[in-house]
Amino acid sequence: MLPSEIEQLFDCPPSRYTEEHRRIFESFKGALNRGEVRAAEPDAASKTGWRVNGWVKKGILLGFRMGKVVDMSIDRLRQPFFDKDAYPPKALSLASQVRIVPGGSSIRDAAYVGRGVTCMPPMFINTGAYVDDGTMVDSHALIGSCAQVGRNCHISAGAQIGGVLEPIGAIPVIIEDEVMVGGNCGVYEGVVVKRRAVLGSGVILNGSTAVYDLVREQIYAATDCTPLVIPEEAVVVPGSRAISQPAGRRWALSLYTPIIVKYRDARTNERVQLEGLFR
């Protein structure tokens, strides 16, 4: 029932929104907050292991269309905030079991944040994101709208996990369980990082990035039908590739290229486990 109501409101906008329309949206938003509906969810039949729920994206966009800009300031003179009333800050309590360290972090309404998530200041989780239990979101990190982050991940300081709200059918960025995303990484345009992978500091992944696997001697890249997928337990570091074009050779230029240098081993696991002391 809820999917069809959201689809109808999005595809056939009324001349004005009524209290009943707002009730439908609030019901949808509550399901997002509880993690009962997601912009994307696991699907074993898919090549990527994930399926996009277009109606959920429509519902999120509906909130922006339906909402009105209101004053959300705690202190209008010292720090004014004005935003759509459909997406105030997320309501959390001690019972939510989310650790939010003081210092300016923000979680927007309609984002799911699981138990045991640690939020180091200042970080931001946007509407429609899903952050599963036990994950750490470090200082200055961004979880974009509709991004899906699994259990027990570490999103390190300055990392950006881009969301994909539009186009409706596009897969958002997926970070599966137990992934380590190093400092100042950027993951964008629907990239899927499979479970237990490690992204070294400064790795940038997007829809135009080719990733070179030195271990399996393969090249991974997005196609017209599928996004870039980083294999399970891959350890990815920043690298470079020489430009073969004449001017590139003459000037000794190279292009940035992510490289898989190994797959997780005991030493990798030991280094990643150190973060558990901070949770």
pLDDT tens by residue, 166-178: 888 889 999 999 9
Question: How far is residue 25's CA from residue 8's CA, in Å, rounded to a whole number?
Answer: 12
Cβ-Cβ contacts under 8 Å for 273 (sequence gap 6 or more): none
Question: How far is residue 244's CA from residue 257's CA, in Å, rounded to a whole number?
Answer: 14
Domains of the chain: 2-66 (1.10.166.10), 99-278 (2.160.10.10)
At 192 the pLDDT is 98
Buried b (16+ CB within 10 A) or exposed e, 235-269: bbbbbeeeeeeeeeeeeeeeeeebbbebbbeeebe
8 A C-beta contact, residue 185 and residue 201: yes
Could you tell me whether strands 112-113 and 130-131 are parallel, antiparallel, or unpaired per DSSP bridges?
A: parallel
Q: Tell me the average pLDDT across 196-222.
A: 97
Per-residue pLDDT band at 279 (split at 50, 70, 90):
low
Share the mean pLDDT of the chain.
94
pLDDT tens profile 24-50 = 999 999 999 999 999 999 999 999 999
At 162 the pLDDT is 94
pLDDT tens profile 151-164 = 999 999 999 999 88
- The answer to pTM > 0.85 is yes
pLDDT tens profile 48-78 = 999 999 999 999 999 999 999 999 998 888 8
Q: Tell me the average pLDDT across 81-96.
A: 95
At 272 the pLDDT is 66
8 A C-beta contact, residue 246 and residue 208: no
CA angle 41, 194, 198 (to 5 degrees): 140
Closest CA to 34 of 88, 103, 105, 115: 115
At 166 the pLDDT is 82
Q: Is the pLDDT of residue 82 over 80?
A: yes
